[in-house]
């Protein structure tokens, strides 16, 4: 048996061999030595560090089950995927479920860290003035796509990962948006 001893390297259950069972089911729980590769062998010498306070999951970024935002002031906020659709209530006729987004409020030219959700189509929202001043930015969770028969359908978007707040110039005016970093 290619065991790494009697110790439990995964923080859960009994695990006997490297790479079996719990590593794939609980990758964010790994806390003990794991194999490293040199020119000759794979040995349990190095450490893989995972941030255990963030749920693991798939979708676009390993070890994140949600969205981490790095704000302009370098602070962070983590939005759990479990919270994305708490208020999502599609109509049977589809009238209000064409889009669903995380909504970020913009104040004074930066995100003010107010986060809500809504079903509006516009990604950027402004005050309607001249020049326009941005008031909201939406990160889509559900959008419109086309099926194999070219019919419009609601499509979920995999947005898991880490995003950074950035300023973009649109028609000569600054707008806040998020850029995916991982």
Q: How many CA atoms lie within 13 A of 41 on its CB side?
A: 5
> In the prediction, which pLDDT does 31 show?
42
How much is the pTM? 0.62
Instruction: Reduce the secondary structure of 101-164 to three states and give it as a string.
Output: EEEEEEECCEEEEEEEEECCCCCEEECCCCCCCEEEEEEEEEEEEECCCCCEEEEECCCCEEEE
pLDDT band at 92 (very low <50, low <70, confident <90, very high): low
pLDDT tens per residue, range 167-177: 998 888 889 99
Reported confidence tier of residue 46, pLDDT bands at 50, 70, 90 = very low
Higher pLDDT, 178 or 6: 178
How far apart are alpha carbons 126 and 135 in whole angstroms? 5
- Judged against a pLDDT cut of 60, whether residue 128 lies above it is answered with yes
Q: Which stretch of 13-27, 78-92, 141-155 has the lowest confidence by average pLDDT?
A: 13-27
Q: Calculate mean pLDDT across residues 79-99.
A: 80
Regarding predicted confidence, which is higher, 178 or 10? Answer: 178
Question: Which residues make Cβ contacts (< 8 Å) with residue 176, sequence separation at least 6?
Answer: 104, 106, 109, 110, 111, 134, 137, 165, 166, 167, 168
- Report percent pLDDT > 90 for the chain: 36
């Amino acid at each position: 048996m290619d065991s790494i001893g009697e110790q439990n390297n995964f923080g859960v259950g009994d695990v006997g061999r490297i790479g079996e069972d719990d590593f794939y089911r609980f990758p964010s729980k790994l806390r003990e030595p794991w194999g490293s590769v040199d020119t000759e062998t794979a040995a349990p010498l190095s450490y893989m560090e995972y941030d255990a306070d963030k749920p693991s999951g798939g979708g676009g970024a390993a070890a994140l089950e949600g969205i981490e935002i790095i704000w302009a002031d370098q602070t962070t906020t983590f939005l759990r995927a479990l919270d994305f659709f708490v208020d999502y209530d599609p109509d049977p006729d589809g009238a209000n479920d064409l889009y669903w987004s995380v909504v970020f409020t913009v104040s004074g030219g930066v995100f003010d860290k107010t986060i809500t959700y809504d079903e509006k189509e516009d990604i950027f929202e402004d005050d309607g003035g001249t020049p326009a001043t941005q008031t909201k930015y939406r990160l889509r969770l559900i959008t419109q796509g086309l099926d194999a028969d070219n019919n419009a359908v609601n499509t979920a978007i995999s947005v898991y990962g880490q995003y950074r707040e950035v300023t973009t110039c649109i028609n000569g005016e600054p707008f806040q948006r998020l850029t995916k970093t991982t």
